[in-house]
Chains A and B, each alone.
Chain A
Amino acid sequence: MTLPTFKGGVHPPDWKSLTGSKEIETLHPLKELVYPMSQHIGVPCTPTVNKGDRVLAGMKIGDSGAFVSAPVLSGVSGPVKDVGMRMTLSGNMETCVVVENDGQYEYTSDLLPHPDNEPLDPKEYVRIVRDAGIVGMGGAAFPTHVKLSPPPDRKIRWLIVNGAECEPFLNCDNRLMLEHPEAIIGGLEICMRIFPEAEGIIAIEDNKPESIRRMEGELSGRPGKIRVAPHPVKYPQGAEKMLIYSVTGRAIPPGALPADVGCIVINVSTAQHIWLAVTQGIPVTERVVSVTGDVIADPKNIRAPLGTSVRELIDACGGFTEPPAKVLSGGPMMGISMRSVDVPIVKGTSGILALSPRLTLCPPESNCIRCGRCVTSCPMGLVPTNLDKLARLRDYPQFESYGGMNCIECGCCTYACPAFRHLTQICRDGKAGVTAARKKEQAKQEG
């Protein structure tokens, strides 16, 4: 039987064995913790504490009145050392709250635990998810309460837990599925109470047979309509649009949202945090990070408080065996290369990767030979080489008419290109050009 999947995609070596069998270890950071006020897509938070205040673990230190935003909570207790600009994973300076860890982990929480799991009003669940600061933990960091509040005319038929983890190297979702299947299924069951008509699906790539078995084992005997859906190993199987297409056969129209085709997709770790927040009143103050790569001495899966410095995580894994060429936040296909390791991990940090120059080889670009590898690998059905030409010519109207705005920046075209052309990067530029042109046009019309 062939498993359902999507068109296109690539098969990079997966490097999963580095951390696949490593149990999650907990790290207690010694140094200060840095909390960027923007750990999510949407409006950044405003600090709710001042320099010198003492905060407790689980206390809100940043929040925003905007709907598309999520509060930031401290994971440790101690004095607020600073509220100011610090460098973040992206290399930009952003407003951060810096907390000195006093090592006491004195804990408080505004969230009421519901340990017996009695049904609540759906709106109450969404409120808890927001107050717990839950965002998409797979990397995109879109506020989860927004996802769980689709327009009322959209009927949600599928609730999909994304356990594909298609990026090479990463194992944090895999380990969570192996070690805490009950929490993940619990999170999904809570979501299904918000959307009682929906079917629950846990989608996993078939290179994780242990996880598939574990989740299926946990499901057996439970009432309710949840099933595990294995999918073939192919990058980017875990991209939202690809996953929805594989699971439901529905394609999201350009510009539309998953809810428009009756779907909501949440990451494995997000589901776990929903369960933690609702049943135990625990907000998001920590996450599991795969610290791995070919130049990490002892790759591990580490549960660490948000705000922990990347340097501390790397030190906890024995440091580097040789100087890395790149240190990434996230996987090698879509991750961000960092300027410095003295930056904090945030809600969306699924992995810290240190790669040797051999793996991150980037030879000079040469002419496109029209081999078509970008076309057959593009999961969105685009012709990346055409978009590359148009974006370099800054012909943004044509770029748009060739569907450039549909690019999901998965990186398949660049990975496959034998001429080493920077197709994904140029596509990003093209998209930014179109957006800028649109804004200009809008400004002109307004005034």
Chain B
Amino acid sequence: MNRFLVVASSPHIRANLSTQKIMALVIASLIPAGLAGAYFLGSRSLLVVASSVAACVAAEGLWQKCARQPLTVRDLSAALTGLLLAYNLPPAIPLWMPVIGGFFAIIVVKQFFGGLGQNVVNPALAGRAMMLICWPVDMTNWTVQGVSGPTALALAKGAESFSAVVSNAAEAGQAFPELFDAFIGRMGGCIGETSSAALIAGGVFLIASGIISWRIPVIYIVTAAAASMAFGSALNPLYEVMSGGLLIGAFFMATDYTTSPITPKGQAVFAAGCGILTSLIRAFGGYPEGVSYSILIMNFVVPIIDGATKPKILGEARAR
């Protein structure tokens, strides 16, 4: 009975949680938001999602085949990137665009930097940023159940007061969405951004199942809301939170393990930075929306944050 004993270094048991399972849980938590997008923005949204996911998985597989690396598409990280990219696109976008965006996200942003866990910025967000630069018109063509028009944030851009926002909407020939509509998702926007209710449900599920901590989403949202008030936004903070990409960004983008700080303290700093930058861009920047760029900018700061927030070693006098 001796011959078959395995000799290995301790520990000999592992928690029953793999990278693949984590990715699968994040994907599952994103499904309600996608279904809401398809319901409110049209079923074409599903085609955009499918092409983006397929492109990302194909890009990863192709790259690994060409680079003679082990095939890791089964870890579902490429599929998740594809899903997040699609959720950041308008539903009416031509289907070849997400394919190019997906290839860019996976090959340039992720694989060029060493693959899973090695990328500096969030691949889905960088893919979206690239697409926004290349195809600014298609990337901002919002439709709500077939009718196109500007988003709530675009209407609020530069407005002095809430009544100015409403009259902006009237000029554009549409009614400004009620708070409840913004909450359930009956308003223009990207596929995955539209339903705050679905995003919050998914985010709470991720926090409850221990996949993400509450730190980044809560601090991000609270900071962004507070900063928008401080910067004198015409919208009340609830609108600010429920419009645009703030919720999807806070729950699903800023919490990306690879591109956020590894220490709890660092995550708090990172989230606060994202919140302030988001409101700065919304209030003073050239774009109506600032979530993508604020997270991308903070991604670059992560190594510095990590270095500055190293945990204290038990018993050590003080940081060296």
| A contact set with B: CB distance below 8 Å | 6-7, 10, 12, 91, 168, 241, 245, 251-254, 256, 320, 323-328, 332-342, 355, 359-363, 366-372, 375-376, 378-383, 385, 401, 403, 406, 409, 411, 414-420, 422, 424-425, 428
| B72 (CB) vs chain A CBs: closest residue | A366
Q: Which of A323, A369, A420 contacts B4 (CB 8 A)?
A: A323
| B263 (CB) vs chain A CBs: closest residue | A375
A212 CA to B3 CA in the complex, in Å?
42
CB of A326 within 8 A of CB of B262, answer no
CB of B1 within 8 A of CB of A323, answer yes
CB of A418 within 8 A of CB of B18, answer yes
A334 CA to B9 CA in the complex, in Å?
9
Q: Would you list the 10 A-B pairs with minimal beta carbon distance, nearest first?
A: A411-B11, A425-B9, A251-B315, A367-B117, A371-B257, A381-B311, A367-B116, A372-B262, A369-B117, A333-B11
Chain A: minimal CB distance from B292 (Å): 21
Per-position binary interface string of chain B over residues 19-35, scored 1 when its CB falls under 8 Å from any chain A CB and 0 otherwise: 10110000000000000
CB of B12 within 8 A of CB of A326, answer yes
A50 CA to B144 CA in the complex, in Å?
93
Q: How large is the interface on B (under 10, 10 to 19, 20 to 34, 35 or more residues)?
A: 35 or more
| B257 (CB) vs chain A CBs: closest residue | A371
Residues of B within 8 A of A370 (CB): 117, 257-258, 260, 262
CB of A366 within 8 A of CB of B19, answer yes
CB of B15 within 8 A of CB of A416, answer yes
A91/B262 contact (C-beta < 8 A), A340-B2, A360-B13 known: no
| B contact set with A: CB distance below 8 Å | 1-2, 4-15, 17-19, 21-22, 72, 75, 77, 115-118, 257-258, 260, 262-264, 267, 310-317, 320
CB of B6 within 8 A of CB of A337, answer yes
CB of A326 within 8 A of CB of B8, answer yes
CB of B258 within 8 A of CB of A375, answer no
A334/B11 contact (C-beta < 8 A), A369-B258, A383-B262 known: yes
CB of A381 within 8 A of CB of B14, answer no
Residues of A within 8 A of B257 (CB): 369-372
A381/B5 contact (C-beta < 8 A), A332-B13, A355-B12 known: no
A415 CA to B2 CA in the complex, in Å?
26
| A252 (CB) vs chain B CBs: closest residue | B315
Residues of B within 8 A of A12 (CB): 13, 15
CB of A362 within 8 A of CB of B312, answer no
A81 CA to B116 CA in the complex, in Å?
59
A367 CA to B5 CA in the complex, in Å?
28
Residues of A within 8 A of B1 (CB): 320, 323, 341
A91 CA to B310 CA in the complex, in Å?
38
A332 CA to B6 CA in the complex, in Å?
13
A325/B6 contact (C-beta < 8 A), A355-B12, A360-B13 known: yes
Chain B: minimal CB distance from A393 (Å): 15
> Main SS of the interface on chain B?
loop
CB of B11 within 8 A of CB of A366, answer no
Residues of A within 8 A of B14 (CB): 361-362, 414-415, 417, 420
A379/B6 contact (C-beta < 8 A), A320-B1, A363-B18 known: no
| B259 (CB) vs chain A CBs: closest residue | A370
| B266 (CB) vs chain A CBs: closest residue | A372
| B16 (CB) vs chain A CBs: closest residue | A361
CB of B314 within 8 A of CB of A379, answer yes
Residues of B within 8 A of A401 (CB): 320
Residues of A within 8 A of B13 (CB): 12, 168, 332-333, 355, 359-360, 415
A12 CA to B201 CA in the complex, in Å?
28
Residues of A within 8 A of B7 (CB): 91, 326, 337-339
Residues of B within 8 A of A253 (CB): 315-317
9 contacts between A and B (CB under 8 A): A332-B11, A333-B13, A341-B2, A342-B2, A371-B257, A385-B262, A415-B15, A418-B17, A418-B22
A320 CA to B10 CA in the complex, in Å?
22
Chain B: minimal CB distance from A379 (Å): 7
Chain A: minimal CB distance from B217 (Å): 15
Q: Which of A168, A327, A428 contacts B5 (CB 8 A)?
A: A327
CB of B9 within 8 A of CB of A424, answer yes
CB of A372 within 8 A of CB of B263, answer yes
A256/B15 contact (C-beta < 8 A), A338-B7, A369-B116 known: no
CB of B116 within 8 A of CB of A414, answer no
A217 CA to B75 CA in the complex, in Å?
54
Q: Which of B10, B18, B267 contacts A411 (CB 8 A)?
A: B10
CB of B15 within 8 A of CB of A403, answer no
Q: Which of B10, B72, B317, B320 contacts A335 (CB 8 A)?
A: B10
Residues of A within 8 A of B310 (CB): 383
A435 CA to B63 CA in the complex, in Å?
41
Instruction: Name the residue among A324, A326, A359, A363 with the largest chain B CB count within 10 angstroms.
Output: A326
A320 CA to B4 CA in the complex, in Å?
13
Residues of B within 8 A of A359 (CB): 12-13
Besides A326-B7, A414-B11, A418-B19, 10 other CB < 8 A contacts?
A168-B13, A320-B1, A323-B4, A335-B10, A359-B13, A362-B14, A411-B11, A415-B15, A419-B117, A425-B9
Residues of A within 8 A of B9 (CB): 422, 424-425, 428
Residues of A within 8 A of B320 (CB): 401
Chain B: minimal CB distance from A404 (Å): 10
A381 CA to B77 CA in the complex, in Å?
29
Residues of A within 8 A of B118 (CB): 367
| A402 (CB) vs chain B CBs: closest residue | B310
| A420 (CB) vs chain B CBs: closest residue | B14
A254 CA to B258 CA in the complex, in Å?
31
Chain A: minimal CB distance from B60 (Å): 13
Residues of B within 8 A of A369 (CB): 19, 22, 77, 116-117, 257-258
Residues of B within 8 A of A409 (CB): 10
Chain B: minimal CB distance from A434 (Å): 15
Residues of A within 8 A of B5 (CB): 324-327, 337-341
